[in-house]
Homo-oligomer: A and B are copies of this chain.
Amino acid sequence: MNARVAAPSTGGRSVGVVTPADLAFDTPLALKGGAVMPAYALRYETYGTLNAARSNAVLVCHALNASHHVAGVYADDPKNVGWWDNLIGPGRAVDTDRFFVIGVNNLGSCFGSTGPASIDPATGRPWGAAFPFVTVEDWVDTQARLATALGIERFAAVIGGSLGGMQALQWTLSYPDRVGHALIAAATPKLSAQNIAFNEVARRAITTDPDFHGGNYYEHGVVPGRGLRIARMLGHITYLSDDAMAEKFGRDLRADTFGRGLDVEFEIESYLRYQADKFAAYFDANTYLRITRALDWFDPAHAFDGDLSAALARARARFLVVSFTSDWRFSPARSREIVKALLDNRRDVSYAEVDAPHGHDAFLMDDARYHGVVRAWMDNIRP
């Protein structure tokens, strides 16, 4: 979540001050991993107005460390700008004058929805290690329940980038009749061995931190901050392209530091340490473990002997798939796998490979060509 306040290059306004809401669910939810969530709450935000036909709702799914706070600011925290504020608002690419946009914090996250840091009513203590491992399918199920509770039978569109895009794809498979359009940006049909390997290093950094206490660190009044910092530094490397990193930080030495050894000597080190400290102060380690595992497990083709075309046959939505040339985490080749599988099924799919220098994070950036493509595609949706 990068705060940015400038109007995006494609125009429009911010939704302004927003207020999150909570919704509690009492019907037990059977998770794909075998566990059952007896009850849980989801935190969400909405922007714009649901029309009389209840046909103009757009669901925004979030990526690893983001939340329901997709657009606008909070009255008491005006610098906390929603993570996709440059894309969503009145007159923006996702136009809240036309659409009723919903952002929801995923189950297991740490921004208000029930997660490992929440109190387990059965014990009166934080869930901790006992909180189940959730999957992309589980998130989509909880989002579908939220939609039903809000009176939305069918989404005009489900949109997301990275892990959010994977949820948008899963929506078209889990609930093909409840989603009209799906925007899948900077995503992949499944993680590569290298992607899983990076996740595993981050998890091992967290779980081998002496302050992890097997996941029940809350009771000890500590957090596995060392591990979280390592995880975040590593994440940042994979989110940025080598070129973007070079342009932002080069390999500039900080003044007069050569030869200090372990102290910060290069700008890139200073940046990573700063990001790591910031992250460790607000993100829950158990959430990090669960979200990276959900990423590892996502593989709709797995039940079809690896045949992605067979897996996507049941999708009915119209698709926009977007990739970014410098994204080496989920490269354009991975997006093209999705496009090919959809075309094999003669689905309606638009594909944009955006020449952007920012790496994986490009899906969060203000980029006129990227936003122009999204705007044109959204404009064609007639709710």
Contacts and interface: CB of A to CB of B under 8 A. Distances in A.
Nearest to A289: B262
A377 to B, nearest CB: 30
Interface stretch (A3-11, A39-47, A78-86, A185-193): A185-193
Interface stretch (A120-128, A168-176, A227-235, A307-315): A227-235
Main DSSP-derived SS at the A contact region: helix
Given A242-B192, A261-B133, A289-B262, A237 B204 contact: no
A230 B289 CA distance: 16
A257 to B, nearest CB: 11
Interface stretch (A13-21, A52-60, A144-152, A266-274): A266-274
Contacts of A177: none
Nearest to A230: B205
A259 B193 contact: no
Interface in A273-324: 273, 276, 289, 293, 296-297, 299
Nearest to A198: B237
A121 to B, nearest CB: 22
A101 B210 CA distance: 46
Contacts of A296: 251, 265-266
A265 to B, nearest CB: 7
Contact of A201 (B210, B237, B248): B237
A54 B208 CA distance: 53
Contact of A269 (B196, B237, B248): B196
Interface residues of A, number: 53
A229 B208 contact: yes
Given A33-B258, A193-B245, A194-B245, 20 more contacts: A34-B259, A190-B251, A192-B245, A193-B248, A193-B251, A193-B268, A194-B237, A196-B251, A196-B268, A197-B245, A200-B266, A200-B269, A201-B234, A201-B237, A204-B273, A205-B205, A207-B262, A208-B226, A234-B234, A328-B328
A353 B299 CA distance: 35
A32 interface: yes
Nearest to A210: B210
A250 interface: yes
Contacts of A269: 196-197, 200
A272 B197 contact: yes
B197 A237 contact: yes
A291 to B, nearest CB: 12
User: Which among A193, A234, A237, A289 has the greatest number of chain B C-beta atoms within 10 A?
Assistant: A193
A74 interface: no
Contact of A259 (B133, B233, B240, B248): B133
A75 interface: no
A178 interface: no
Given A251-B190, A289-B262, A268 B200 contact: yes
Contacts of A242: 192-194
A218 interface: no
Nearest to A215: B262
A34 B229 CA distance: 32
A249 interface: yes
B33 A197 contact: no
Interface centre among A197, A209, A246, A250 (most CB of B within 10 A): A197
A203 interface: yes
Contacts of A209: 226
A237 to B, nearest CB: 5
10 A-B pairs with least C-beta separation: A33-B259, A193-B245, A194-B242, A208-B226, A133-B261, A193-B268, A201-B233, A200-B269, A193-B246, A197-B237
